Amino acid sequence: MLSIQNIDKSFDALPVIRNLSFEVKDGEFVAIIGPSGSGKSTLFQLIGGVSTIDKGAILLNGTDIQRTRGMIGYMPQQPCLLPWRTIVENVTIVEELHGKPNVKVAKEWLNKVGLAAFEHAYPNELSGGMQQRVSFIRAIVSNKPILCLDEPFSALDEFTRLEMQAWLLSLWEKDRKSILFVTHSIEEALYLADRIIVLTKRPATIKKEIIVPFARPRQEEIRHSATFTALKQQLFTYLKEEKGEANVD
């Protein structure tokens, strides 16, 4: 379980996060939405040990992970694949940095997601959606207790984005690894998550938490339901209330 406990973060005199607390339970899929500049990416930097908090605590299964890198699986907005490495080499790079890479497991995952034929290909030979699949598999193969996904589908066209959402859910249903997912898309959050955390504008704290009421496995038809539409409007209203000046993310 990931536990964020009353954390503060400022950059010089600019407060970015203030008194923020929430948890991600084992096997839970939690989405975070908020206005641009509300510190969502900063939060991932804190969880990942890239940046340090000013106050509070970040615990993973009861262990303080402040200033500790390599504790989470991370998938960024862009695939960030190294162009001179093959696909299987890109998948195993995190493990390679921390010891011996498990090439067998990497190949098994590439086979599961239909990319076995591309294991010796290079990133420029893959479509944007295929590159994002590789990025996600790289995070999974790192075998961390929680995955932090930072707007992973934002750069994709709408059709590919919908395909990737369905693909992500199909994988997650089998594995049920804890996921913390940042997105600007209200609809994406509703379709994917068990729970949605709405952040205020900077300095970010929690404005609302919404329990998503749809059963799993999720069906595409829920996007057209009255409940989905009502929740989408409710979340839009919360974000509209928070619209304002914010430039750090």
- So what's the pLDDT on residue 38? 77
The DSSP-derived string for 195-209 is EEEEEPSSSB-EEEE
**Bridge partner residues of 149 (DSSP):** 75, 181
- Whether the pLDDT of residue 249 is over 50: the answer is no
Rounded CA gap, 47 and 22, in Å? 12
Q: Which amino acid is at 98?
A: H
Q: How confident is the model at residue 246 (pLDDT cuts 50, 70, 90)?
A: very low
Tell me the pTM.
0.87
- So what's the pLDDT on residue 244? 54
- β-pair type (2-11, 14-24): antiparallel
DSSP class of 96: H
The domain spans of the chain are 1-72+148-154+176-249
Per-residue pLDDT tens for 71-101? Answer: 888 888 788 899 999 999 999 887 777 777 7
Per-residue pLDDT tens for 131-140? Answer: 988 988 888 8
Rounded CA gap, 136 and 73, in Å? 9
When pLDDT is averaged across residues 176-190 and rounded to a whole number, the result is 93
Q: Residue 17: which H helix or E strand, with range?
A: strand 14-24
- So what's the pLDDT on residue 228? 97
Please state at what angle helix 128-141 crosses helix 103-112, rounded to 10 degrees.
Answer: 140
CATH H-level superfamily of 1-72+148-154+176-249: P-loop containing nucleotide triphosphate hydrolases (3.40.50.300)
